[in-house]
Structure 1
Amino acid sequence: MHLFKTKKDNKIYAPVTGMMIPLSEVPDNTFASGMMGNGFAFRFDSDMIFSPCFGEVLVIAKTRHAVGIKMENGAEILLHIGLDTVMLNGKGFILAVKKGQKIRPGTELLKIDRKI
């Protein structure tokens, strides 16, 4: 992701490089049914996950497979990486941020090791 803006905004940018797909195409009923809320998914091709917005890291799952962000306008975003990744128990996820950290679009949130 390349973003060189200095003016803050309420836009949501892609957190990864790859193809965006509707949640209905995710092969997991919890997400595909909308049970976790509205959103979208990606078939991504990199190992880096970036902040999609200006805000603050609200929560990081103990298993590091999900990051919650509170945008400056109060909206909350959940970035959930992968399917069944909670079972990895954090293995393969390398955090680059901590809870409470202020972030901007393009801030590196975490890196994944796809070989795990």
Structure 2
Amino acid sequence: MIFGKLFGKKEKTETLVAPLTGKIVSIDQVPDPVFSQKMMGDGVAIEPSEGVVVAPVDGEIIQVFPTKHAVGLRSKAGLEILIHIGLETVNMNGEGFEAHVQAGDRVKAGDRLITFDLELVKEKAKSTMTPIIITNGDFVDHLEKVENVMGQKGEITIMTVKAK
């Protein structure tokens, strides 16, 4: 530990696994400028093939939106992640969504966070495309993303983040 103090801090790297099963795509493919232009932060999106959202990292739930269409969490190292299920799903007022966590809960990567009726979202929302965003970009020194592949929730790495 003395060497770490003398020669600088240890590099922090966070690995995020897919929070949903489906096709992982570039954030710039999301048909909403708030996400595609990275106004909220950088990340990827997933076109889900099932209605189950799991934790992408070990951490703490910092917010479950009242409409249950989005959840925010903070990793152990301080990375803040927003998972926004579909586009314009806030207008569904929680219909078809069930939260399995609440603010303050500690979770492990792969723990179930939210379940939703995928067919209902397809019917009532603008899109099912689900952005996974790093909202505290000032924390990020380098971000590697996996895109244009099919991913199984809790199994495939979607982002590797090197912290400042």
TM-score (norm 1): 0.89
**Counterpart amino acid of residue 69 in structure 1:** L
In the TM superposition, what whole-angstrom CA distance separates every residue of 1:20-78 from its partner, at most 9, and x where no partner exists? 10110011111111111101100110110000000000001111111000100011000
- What SS is found at the alignment partner of 1:43? strand
- What SS is found at the alignment partner of 1:39? strand
Report the identity percentage. 37
Tell me, in whole angstroms, the C-alpha distance in 1 between the residues paired with 2:44 and 2:75. Answer: 17
Consecutive aligned runs of 4 or more in structure 1 exceeding 6 Å deviation: none
Structure 1, unmatched stretches of 5+, are 1-8
CA contact (8 A) 2:27 2:35 kept: yes
Instruction: Select the structure that is richer in strand.
Output: 2
In the TM superposition, what whole-angstrom CA distance separates every residue of 1:75-104 from its partner, at most 9, and x where no partner exists? 100010000000001111111111110001
1:10 deviation in Å? 3.1
Structure 2, unmatched stretches of 5+, are 1-12, 121-164
> What pairs with 1:2-17 in structure 2 (closer than 5 Å)?
10-17=14-21
Q: Flag the structure with more relative contact order, 1 or 2, with Cα contacts below 8 A and sequence separation at least 6.
A: 2
TM-score (norm 2): 0.64
Shift in CA distance, 57/31, structure 1 to aligned 2, threshold 3 Å: same
Instruction: Select the structure that is richer in helix.
Output: 2
Question: Rg larger in 1 or in 2?
Answer: 2
